[in-house]
């Protein structure tokens, strides 16, 4: 390998030393001697240093136009030379798309074209007016491809900033700017092989502008002896036009590449978010690792904003990165005021801060560095926002390549911060949900312990062999006669009668019934007594359905749904739950309590030893649960009216097309729903003495809700206002006439043997109307007295009294007529014509009772005050003994047997 003597010749020309010329001439003639001398006498490290220096000189002086002959060619063939240089830059772009590499090649071309002795490049930060960096070129390696940037001295960059502001080439000399002219960079001149004993007196500043017109870099080119001319400025500007274009396309390419990398990067982030969603701390750590990789940061910190205490809270305070090693997360519980430090400023302002020199910013807290010994240089601090609100602050510290965070880092991290914010927000929500779920499980465990029956109770039921001397196949059975223990045994008895207990696990059924009883709250009305009464009513309905219109699974669902239909009832209406913003109302927008009752039913079934359907297949179990849900939701009176209208359309439509058909699933669903409503309202179809007791506890529950509404500043409706007890008869008339009578009328048309429910509901309606009429008479009398006192005119209540008496008499006659009306069902054995002929009268009588009834303003006298008087004045000595059945004058059965018979007041005809 031979060394070129160009550098020696260049030096000889400068020194004009004759001895050097002789040595050069000798060595040129004796290359073998030179080679032998270099190989034998020159150390390898010295030889490598010469090679690097020679390579650098070749790039600077030989690859570009580097002598006077080249300049002459530039005059004659300048365009071709510039084209060649531009093509070299384009080829360099193909090989290397790094902005700094392209920039440095451009700088070498410009400086060598105008014979600059040395040069350096400054990086300008438009957002930091006094912050300037320059590339370090202290060695030959760094001269070829500088990678390090350090901050320039403020005095050193006065003229650099002025040139950046001008945005055009600017020549200066030490004579013209003696005050601000920078000191000669002797170390830089030494790298370029220039005599360091002399001062460099001339500088040419060449700004490099971005596409937006802002100065991104400034080239500082030095000469020791020769002044820069206008020709030098022109050559520099011409080269820069081509070079800036290459640099622009390089940036475009890099931008597209960044976008592609960012897309892949964000895809990885999203995958990580879903993988680490189970742990908030692990998710934060993973996202911070991605953020570090994105901006090439050495340290990362996260602060969450605690607006309640006006503090910043660190969950991951310091995430370190060491190449080749695993990440080390140091979790500390650190709190600091939100108005302190750079992170606090970002949290309050919501603006990104890119600080290249942390110690020059007054907001920087040096205490952490002093305590840890870590040197903070640059900081990129960005807010994490969700719906415009800052929920956290991420702080990146020190780039690992000794560079500073630039605008590209800000843009990339701003895009990333959107995903970071969403991930952090949803991770916190998920974390809260998980914590709530754990609390829910603990609470469920506690509740299941306290709300589950005890084994000694199960054994007591199982071992009790005493028979219940009660006929349960009786619509008019008095539920108040049985104790809770007897009612639980009665449920087992009815369950066995309907579904054959041998097909189930007996202990499981007993345990289920007892736990259901325990999960009814001790409210005045919607308690276990009510649940048992509804289940008993359904038992009688199903027991008397001789045709078994409902299949086995439907009957099972109906009975279980009735038993569980009001589990955990709070004694308040759905409307009240919604108005008071109850958590249940937030969970279910419609049929709030009914959905809750079903969920409690499922919860009980899921407890160990309580699944009475465990012997069924999975498909059968799922089907029965669906039927139970349908039945329980049907007990919401809001669903009753649409169901009733649908049934009316079916019954009143064209018999050829719209007749009720038990084989149609939708028709059966409606029949199940109306049966549930009928069982739920069965208290209104009990004999008068039983219904009176039930009405009292119903209104006790109503009044409790009314008291809470009044305490909350709302006015309760009259029916729930304990200050208006005389509203009870009128409300019962409306309830029976508008809901109960239409329900039982429709039910007995589909299930003929449910007629006793319809009859007793009509009798009770007549009783309530009588009481309401009595209050109306008293109100009319009081009104008459007030009018007489005012001497306005004389008013009598004879007409009112007579009208009321006529109404009561006509109602009794209508009720007697109802006893002879048979129901109409499509699948009965009798012909359609025979059944159709018996339909109309019953519906007409029902509508007569409902018509012309208006609410009246009652006085403060309670109907209950007349109850004792009425009972004393009633004739209890008139009884009829009909086949071991005692019936009073109102046809209320006192001692029913299996075959229930009702004796009318018109004649002695008996109706089954």
Catalytic residues: 526
Give the distance from CA 424 to its chain's centroid. 13
Judge contact between 680 and 691, C-beta under 8 A. Answer: no
**Distance between start and end Cα atoms, the chain:** 128
- Provide the H-helix boundaries in 790-839: 798-818, 832-836
Q: What are phi and psi of 890, to 5 degrees?
A: -95, 15
DSSP secondary structure string for all residues of 745-800 = HHHHHHSGGGHHHHHHHHHHHHHHHHHHHHHHHHHHHHHHHHHHHTTS----SHHH
Q: In whole angstroms, what separates CA 683 from the centre of its chain?
A: 44
Q: Measured between alpha carbons, how far is 81 from 304 in angstroms, rounded to an integer? A: 60
295 close to 407: Cβ distance less than 8 angstroms? no
Residue from 592, 568, 597, 565 nearest 579 by CA = 592
Cα separation of 305 and 440, whole Å? 28
The b/e string for 767-802 (b: 16+ C-beta within 10 A; e otherwise) is bbbbbbbbbbebbbeeeeeeeeeeeeeeeebeebee
Does the CA dihedral 426-431-435-438 come out positive or negative?
positive
Number of H helices, E strands in the chain: 34, 17
Q: Which two structure tokens, joined as six digits, stand for 282?
A: 């692990």
Give the residue ranges of the annotated binding site for AMP. 526-530, 566, 680, 732
Q: How many CB atoms sit inside 10 A of residue 356's CB?
A: 24
**Alpha carbon 670 to chain centroid, angstroms:** 36
Look up residue 363 and give its two tokens: 């907001």
Residues in the annotated binding site for Zn(2+): 530, 565-566, 680
Cα–Cα distance, 752 to 293 (Å, whole number) = 79
Q: Which two three-digit tokens encode residue 724?
A: 């208006």
The CA radius of gyration of the chain, in Å to the nearest whole number, is 50
**Nearest 5°: phi and psi at 77?**
-130, 45
Query: How many Cα atoms occupy the beta-carbon half-sphere of 525 within 13 Å?
Result: 21
Exposed, middle or buried, 809 (CB in 10 Å: 0-12/13-18/19+)? exposed
Nearest-5° angle of CA 11, CA 17, CA 18?
A: 125
Q: Would you state the structure tokens that stand for residue 896, as one six-digit string?
A: 């029913």
- Please state, in angstroms and rounded to a whole number, the distance separating the CA atoms of residues 352 and 220: 32
Nearest to 472 by CA among 552, 558, 535: 535
Can you tell me the distance from the alpha carbon of 343 to that of 381, in angstroms, rounded to the nearest whole number?
Answer: 7
- The dihedral through the CA atoms of 406, 408, 409, 414 has a sign that is positive
For 670-707, the three-class secondary structure string (H helix, E strand, C coil) is HHHHHHHHHHHCHHHHCCHHHHHHHHHHHHHHHHHHHH
CA 330, chain centre distance (Å): 30
Are the C-beta atoms of 623 and 605 separated by less than 8 Å?
no
Residue 284: which residues within 8 A CB-CB, separation 6 or more?
302, 315, 316, 424, 427
Nearest residue to 188 via CA among 119, 116, 103: 119
Closest CA to 170 of 245, 228, 250: 228
Q: Are 116 and 60 in contact (CB under 8 A)?
A: no
What's the helix, strand, coil split of the chain in %, to 5? 60, 10, 30
d(CA 780, CA 800): 8
């Amino acid at each position: 390998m031979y060394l070129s003597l160009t550098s020696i010749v260049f030096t000889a020309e400068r020194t004009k030393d004759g001895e050097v010329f002789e040595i050069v001439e000798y060595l040129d003639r004796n290359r073998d001697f030179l080679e032998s001398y270099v190989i034998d006498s020159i150390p390898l490290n010295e030889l490598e240093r010469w090679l690097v220096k020679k390579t650098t000189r070749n790039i600077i002086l030989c690859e570009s136009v580097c002598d006077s002959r080249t300049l002459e060619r530039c005059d004659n063939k300048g365009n071709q030379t510039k084209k060649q240089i531009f093509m070299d830059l384009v080829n360099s772009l193909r090989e290397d798309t790094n902005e700094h590499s392209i920039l440095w090649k451009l700088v070498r071309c410009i400086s060598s074209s105008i014979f600059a002795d040395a040069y350096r490049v400054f990086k300008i930060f438009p957002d930091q007016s006094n912050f300037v960096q320059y590339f370090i070129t202290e060695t030959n390696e760094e001269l070829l491809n500088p990678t390090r940037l350090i901050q320039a001295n403020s005095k050193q960059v006065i003229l650099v900033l002025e040139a950046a502001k001008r945005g055009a080439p600017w020549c200066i000399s030490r004579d013209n700017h003696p005050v601000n002219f920078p000191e000669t960079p002797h170390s830089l001149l030494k790298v370029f092989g220039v005599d360091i004993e002399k001062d460099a007196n001339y500088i040419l500043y060449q700004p490099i502008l971005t596409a937006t017109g802002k100065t991104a870099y400034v080239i500082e080119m030095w000469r020791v002896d020769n002044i820069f001319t206008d020709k030098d400025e022109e050559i520099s500007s011409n080269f820069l036009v081509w070079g800036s274009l290459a640099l622009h396309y390089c940036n475009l390419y890099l931008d597209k590449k960044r976008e592609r990398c960012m897309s892949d990067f964000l895809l990885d982030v999203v995958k990580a978010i879903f993988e680490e969603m189970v742990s908030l701390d692990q998710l934060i750590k993973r996202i911070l690792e991605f953020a570090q990789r994105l901006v090439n940061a050495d340290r990362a910190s996260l602060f969450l904003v605690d607006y309640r205490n006006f503090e910043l809270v660190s969950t991951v305070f310091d995430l370190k990165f060491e190449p080749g090693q695993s990440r080390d997360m140091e979790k500390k519980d650190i709190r600091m005021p939100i108005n302190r430090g750079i992170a606090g400023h970002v949290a309050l302002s919501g603006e990104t801060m890119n600080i290249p020199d942390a110690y020059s910013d007054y907001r920087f807290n040096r205490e952490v560095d002093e305590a840890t010994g870590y040197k903070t240089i640059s900081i990129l601090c960005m807010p994490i926002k969700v719906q415009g609100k800052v929920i956290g602050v991420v702080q990146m510290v020190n780039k690992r390549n000794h560079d500073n965070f630039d605008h590209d880092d800000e843009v990339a991290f701003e895009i990333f911060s959107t995903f970071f914010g969403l991930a952090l927000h949803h991770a916190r929500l998920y974390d809260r949900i998980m914590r709530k779920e754990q609390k829910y499980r603990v609470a469920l465990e506690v509740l299941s312990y306290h709300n589950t029956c005890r084994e000694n109770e199960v054994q007591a039921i199982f071992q009790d062999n005493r028979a219940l001397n009660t006929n349960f196949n009786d619509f008019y059975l008095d539920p108040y006669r049985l104790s809770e223990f007897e009612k639980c045994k009665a449920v087992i008895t009815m369950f066995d009668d309907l579904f054959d207990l041998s097909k189930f696990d007996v202990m499981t059924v007993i345990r289920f019934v007892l736990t259901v009883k325990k999960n009814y709250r001790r409210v005045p009305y919607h308690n276990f007594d009510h649940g048992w009464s509804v289940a008993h009513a359904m038992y009688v309905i199903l027991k008397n359905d001789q045709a078994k219109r409902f299949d086995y699974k439907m009957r099972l669902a109906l009975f279980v749904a009735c038993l569980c239909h009001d589990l955990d009832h709070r004694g308040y209406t759905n409307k009240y739950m919604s108005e008071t913003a109850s958590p249940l109302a937030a969970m279910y927008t419609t049929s709030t309590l009914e959905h809750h009752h079903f969920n409690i039913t499922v919860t009980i079934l899921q407890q160990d030893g309580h699944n009475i359907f465990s012997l069924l297949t999975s498909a059968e179990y799922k089907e029965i649960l669906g039927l139970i849900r349908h039945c329980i939701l049907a007990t919401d009176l809001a669903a009753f009216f649409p169901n009733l209208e649908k049934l009316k359309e079916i019954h009143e439509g064209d018999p050829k097309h719209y007749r009720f058909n038990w084989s149609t699933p939708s028709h059966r669903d409606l029949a199940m729903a109306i049966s549930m409503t009928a069982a739920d309202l069965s208290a209104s179809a009990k004999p008068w003495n039983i219904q009176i007791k039930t009405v009292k506890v119903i209104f006790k529950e109503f009044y409790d809700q009314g008291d809470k509404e009044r305490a909350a500043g709302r006015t309760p409706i009259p029916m729930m206002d304990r200050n208006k007890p005389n509203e009870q008869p009128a409300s019962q008339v409306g309830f029976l006439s508008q809901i109960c009578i239409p329900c039982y009328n429709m039910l007995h048309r589909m299930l003929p043997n449910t007629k006793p429910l319809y009859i007793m509901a009509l009798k009770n309606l007549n009783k309530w109307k009588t009481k309401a009429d009595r209050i109306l008479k008293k109100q009319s009398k009081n009104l008459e007295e007030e009018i007489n006192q005012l001497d306005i005119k004389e008013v009598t209540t004879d007409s009112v009294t007579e009208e009321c008496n006529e109404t009561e008499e006509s109602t009794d006659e209508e009720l007697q007529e109802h006893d002879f009306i048979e129901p109409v069902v499509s699948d009965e054995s009798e012909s359609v014509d025979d059944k159709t002929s018996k339909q109309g009268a019953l519906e007409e009588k029902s509508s007569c009772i409902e018509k012309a009834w208006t609410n009246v303003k009652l006085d403060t006298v309670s109907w209950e005050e007349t109850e004792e008087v009425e009972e004393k004045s009633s004739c209890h000595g008139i009884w009829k003994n009909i086949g071991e059945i005692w019936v009073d004058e109102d046809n209320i059965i006192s001692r029913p047997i299996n075959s229930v018979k009702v004796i009318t007041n018109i004649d002695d005809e008996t109706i089954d």
